[in-house]
């Protein structure tokens, strides 16, 4: 059985005052069946981790450097995130692939650094609008997966998030059939690459404009084990119903 995961990605949003939502979330979901993770900006991780202490909510980072330490001004290592209280880190988000020119090799190295530091790597893949229109969606996903999957991936250490770029922050949600096609493909690829046991046990998240209003429909899709949520993870009013929908899904 794969434990479902509701992961929130605050991106470059939120201040110390917004951490109050963590308490509100914990009050509304004191013992969720699913795992709940919030990834605030790095500057808030330490405070966020203290704020959720004793609750069912975990804290993650949004990126890490692939090195352990060294002359990398402005960067943060996976071990630093872990020390601050993170238990997971997002790697290879399309905004990082675009804004920071991260390629598959870098993303794989980051995922490996995350595993080495004891963090769960949430590895993002997804096609652009142009790639989808050109009929290249599955080729792009296969290439990203092959290039950025860490060595020695384990079911505990790796989560894959399918995030079609055209659905991120746009209000456009992939159709259930589109999500199903990619998740089924990802599952088959994972089983082929990692063997039956690990391939079946790795969790697959959907991300891209997940909201309270569409969450139940998305969670009903086979092989969707949860969501990576941007905008709707910033408030308890939006994120709590998404957790409820995930807990209610079969």
The nearer residue to ligand PGA, 92 or 208, going by C-beta atoms, is 208
Q: Active site residue: 93, 95, 127, 183, which one? A: 93
209 binds ligand PGA (CB under 6 A): yes
Is residue 224 at the binding interface for ligand PGA, with CB under 6 A as the rule?
no
User: Contact with ligand PGA (CB under 6 A): which of 88, 121, 228, 240?
Assistant: 228
> Active-site residue 93, yes or no?
yes
Interface positions, 128-167, toward ligand PGA (CB under 6 A): 163
Nearest alpha-carbon partner for 18 in 62, 48, 52, 61: 48
From 61, 85, 92, 208, residue interacting with ligand PGA (rule: CB under 6 A): 208
Tell me the closest approach of the beta carbon of residue 145 to ligand PGA, in angstroms: 18
CA–CA gap between residue 95 and residue 111 (Å, rounded): 16
Residue 200 to residues 115, 186, 187, Cα–Cα distance (Å):
19, 10, 7
Active site residue 163: yes
158: Cα separation from own chain's centroid: 10
- 158-186 burial, b at 16+ Cβ within 10 Å, e below that, comes to bbbbbbbbbbbeeeebbebebbbbbbebb
Binding site for ligand PGA (CB under 6 A): 9, 163, 168-169, 207-210, 228-232
| Residues identified as active-site | 93, 163
């Amino acid at each position: 059985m794969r434990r479902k995961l509701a992961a929130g990605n605050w991106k470059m949003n939120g201040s110390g005052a917004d951490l109050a939502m963590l308490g509100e979330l914990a009050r509304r979901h004191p013992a969720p069946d699913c795992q709940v993770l919030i990834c605030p900006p790095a500057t808030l991780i330490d405070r966020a981790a203290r704020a959720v202490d004793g609750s069912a909510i975990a804290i993650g980072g949004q990126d890490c450097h692939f090195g352990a330490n060294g002359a990398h001004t402005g960067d943060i290592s996976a071990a630093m995130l872990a020390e601050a209280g993170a238990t997971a880190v997002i790697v290879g988000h399309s905004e990082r692939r675009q804004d920071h020119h991260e390629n598959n090799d870098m993303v794989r190295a980051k995922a490996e650094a995350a595993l080495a530091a004891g963090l769960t790597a949430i590895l993002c893949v997804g096609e652009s609008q142009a790639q989808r229109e050109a009929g290249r969606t599955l080729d792009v996903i296969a290439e990203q997966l092959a290039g950025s999957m860490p060595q020695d991936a384990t079911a505990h250490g790796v989560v894959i998030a399918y995030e079609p770029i055209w659905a991120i922050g746009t209000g456009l949600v992939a159709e259930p059939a589109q999500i199903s096609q990619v998740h089924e493909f990802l599952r088959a690829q994972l089983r082929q690459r990692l063997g039956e046991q690990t391939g079946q046990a790795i969790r697959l998240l959907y991300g891209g404009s997940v909201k309270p209003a569409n969450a139940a429909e998305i969670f009903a899709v086979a092989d969707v084990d949860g969501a990576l949520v941007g905008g709707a993870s910033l408030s308890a009013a939006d994120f709590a119903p998404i957790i409820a929908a995930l807990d209610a899904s079969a």
